[in-house]
Amino acid sequence: MNGNTVARVLRIPILAVATLLLSTGTTAADPAPNADWPMWQFDSPGSRYNRNETTLTPGNVGSLQLKWAFAFPGAVAQSSQPAVVDGVLYSGGRDGKMYALDARTGATRWVFDTGTMLEHIPAYGLRDGPAVAGGAVYFGDNAANLWAVDAVTGHERWHTRLDNHPLSIITSSPLVFEDHVYIGVSSQEEGGGLADPLYPCCTFRGSVVSVDAASGAVQWKYSTLAQPTTRTGPPGPSFSPSGGAVWSSPTIDSATRTLYYTSGNPYTGTPRDLESIGAVDIDTGTRRWVNSLTPNDTWNVRCAVPPAGGACPVPGRDFDFGAHANIFDIGGRKVVGAGQKTGIYHLLDATDGSIVWQTQLSVPTSPLPIEGAESLAGIQWGASYDGSRLYVATYGANPGTLFALDPGDGHLLWRTPNPANGCLIDLPPVPMDPLCQESMPNAVSSSPGLVYEGSMDGKMRVFAADTGAILWEYNTHRPFVGVNGVPGIGGGLNGNGAVVANGMLYTNSGYAHPITTGMPGNMLLAFGLP
C-alpha cells in the first residue's frame, strides 16, 4: 500500500563532515567512463562483473589504501551492499536508515529514516542492497516494505508493503528493468518454532513481486508454493506446505523476457518446487519452469534443538538457496546457474531447466552439533561471471575457498583456500578471536583481471582472475572512527559482496548472528589508489 510515512530526511553539510576524513587523495588514473555499480547483481543477468572498471589492474591493485570509513550507529552487523551511481554511494543500515554518501570522501549527502527498525526483533533494519535507476533509490526493509526514494534529495516517492505476513521481510535486493522493480520476499517465520513450541507453524509463502517503478503499484506476485492447509491435533493447529522464502536477488534475460529466481527450503510439508531454480515470465508473472534440486528438505529452526519434534517432526538439512542466478551463454546456448548450500554449483538450460552440468565444490559437513548446520559448508550468496570464468566461493568448508570454473563444462580452473593464518590479527599478533571463521560466504565480484571476495576472518582480498593468486588483502577487524564522527569496529564479512566502481573498492565489515555467529561490526570501508 502506498501512503505517508513517519520517515524523515536529514541533510548534512558536506564540508562539515568532510573535515573528519581518515585520509585524502585521488586515484592514480582517471576512472573509466560509466564504471558505476548500480545494483546488487550489477546487471540484469547477474554477472557481478564491472567490465568498465579498468582503473584497478593486477599491476596496481596491491597499492590500494583506505580512503575513508563510515560507521553505522549502534549496529552489530552491516550487510546492505552499496550501490554507486553518479558519484554517490547508497547503503542501508540496521538502524532502518538509508544513507547517501559522497563516493570519494564518505561525506553524508542525506539520510532517510524508514521508521521500521523496531518492527521486528531482532531489529535487522535494512539488509538488502539498494538499486539506483531513473533518479530513484529502491530498497526493501525488515517489514517487507519496498521503498522508492529520490536519489538527489532523499525524499520519499512511495513505499509498498509486499507481504502482509507479520514475519515477512526483504533480504532480496531489487532489480530494476524497463520501469519495473523485481524483488523476492523472505521471512523470519522459520524461527517461530524455536521461540515458541506452541507456535502454529507455518503459514508464510515465499514470492517474487513485480512493482511499477513510478507508482509502487504491484503488477504481479508469483508465489513459490501453494496455499497451506490446516491440520489439527496436539499441541495445536499446524499448516503445510510453507516456506520457500526468496532470500536471493532476481536476474533477468531480456531477450526471452524471463526472470530467474532461487528459492529456500520448506518449513513444513514436502512441496515439490522448493530449493529450486525457477523461471517466470516477466510480463505476466506466470511460471515457465522450476527445477527442484533438493526435494523434501523440510527444515525450520526448531530442528536445531534436539530431539526433533513440534514443528520439526523429520528434520531436513537446510540446503536452501541464498545465491542468485547467473545468466550467460555457452556455445550459443542460453544457460542459468546458481550455487547451493549443498556445495554444488548447478548449471541449467535456460529454456527448460534441464541440467547441463553440476560441480561439487564442498562436502556438507557440520561445524555445529545441530540439524541443518551442514549447510554452512556450502555456497551462500552468489557467484560472478566475467565472460571467461565463473567465480564461486564456499562458506565454512574447512576452510572456505574461492574457485574459478570453466563455464562450458564446470571443471576446476583454480582454487584458493582461505589462508590458514586468516584469523590472526596482523598488527600486532594476538590470540585468535573465538568468533573468527576461515569462511567465504560473500557474493563474489569481479572486474577485468581481478576477483574480489571477503572472509569471515575479517579480511578483504583481491585475487588474480587467471591464477587465483592473492594480490592484496586488508584486515578490517579493527577499530575505526568514521567520517561521520561515529566510532566503530570492523568484523566478519558476510551477507553482501564487494563493490568496485570508478577506481574504488567498497566493502561492508561486521556480521553477528545468533546461530551462525561471526565477528560483529558496523563499518563501510572505501579503498583507492595513492
8 A C-beta contact, residue 437 and residue 418: no
8 A C-beta contact, residue 290 and residue 353: yes
**Domains of the chain by residue range:** 9-528
pTM of the model: 0.93
Alpha carbon separation from 473 to 61, 346, 359, 505 (Å, rounded): 10, 30, 28, 12
Q: Which of 68, 26, 152 is nearest to 502 (CA)?
A: 26
**Nearest-10 Cα torsion for 61, 476, 427, 28:** 30
pLDDT for res 227: 83
8 A C-beta contact, residue 176 and residue 134: yes
What is the number of helices (H) and of strands (E) in the chain? 2, 40
DSSP letter string, 448-512: TTEEEEE-TTSEEEEEETTT--EEEEEE--SEEE-TTS-EEE-----SSB-EEETTEEEEEE---
Q: Three cell numbers at 130?
A: 539498494
- Averaged pLDDT in 10-residue chunks for the chain of 530 residues: 45 36 41 87 98 97 98 91 98 95 98 72 78 98 96 98 94 97 94 71 95 98 89 74 96 98 93 95 97 90 74 79 97 97 97 98 79 83 97 94 98 97 72 86 97 97 98 96 96 94 97 83 97
Backbone angles phi, psi at 484, to 5 degrees: -90, 10
* Nearest-angstrom CA–CA distance, 145 and 151: 18
* Nearest-angstrom CA–CA distance, 106 and 5: 27
Give the number of other Cβ atoms within 10 Å of residue 387's Cβ: 13
Q: How far is CA 137 from the centre of its chain?
A: 17
Helix (H) or strand (E) holding 18: helix 14-18
- Which residues have C-beta within 8 Å of that of residue 150, sequence separation ≥ 6? 135, 136, 137, 156, 157
Strand partners for 499: 506
Give the number of other Cβ atoms within 10 Å of residue 375's Cβ: 26
pLDDT for res 117: 56
* Nearest-angstrom CA–CA distance, 370 and 267: 16
* Nearest-angstrom CA–CA distance, 409 and 451: 21
* Nearest-angstrom CA–CA distance, 445 and 453: 7
pLDDT for res 29: 53
Residue type, 139: F
pLDDT for res 427: 57
Q: Which of 222, 269, 221, 220 is nearest to 243 (CA)?
A: 269
Q: Which of 86, 167, 156 is nearest to 119 (CA)?
A: 167
Sign of the C-alpha dihedral, residues 97, 7, 213, 207?
positive
Alpha carbon separation from 451 to 58, 103, 258, 399, 464 (Å, rounded): 10, 21, 28, 18, 6
**Nearest-10 Cα torsion for 515, 519, 524, 525:** -140
Q: Which of 65, 130, 60 is nearest to 101 (CA)?
A: 130
Largest CA distance in the chain: 69
8 A C-beta contact, residue 275 and residue 321: yes
Query: Taking the CA of residue 32 as centre, how many other CA atoms within 13 Å lie in the half-sphere pointing to its CB?
Result: 16
Is the backbone peptide bond immediately before 45 cis, with ω within 30 degrees of 0? no
Instruction: Please identify which residue in the block is written with the cell numbers 548534512.
Output: 12
Q: Three cell numbers at 386?
A: 566475467
- The class that CATH gives domain 9-528 is mainly beta
Q: Three cell numbers at 453?
A: 571476495
pLDDT for res 329: 97
pLDDT for res 33: 67
* Nearest-angstrom CA–CA distance, 259 and 12: 39
Q: Three cell numbers at 321?
A: 538457496
* Nearest-angstrom CA–CA distance, 382 and 485: 33
DSSP 194: H
Strand partners for 461: 453, 473
pLDDT for res 190: 86
pLDDT for res 178: 96
Strand partners for 205: 243
* Nearest-angstrom CA–CA distance, 439 and 511: 12
Give the number of other Cβ atoms within 10 Å of residue 169's Cβ: 27
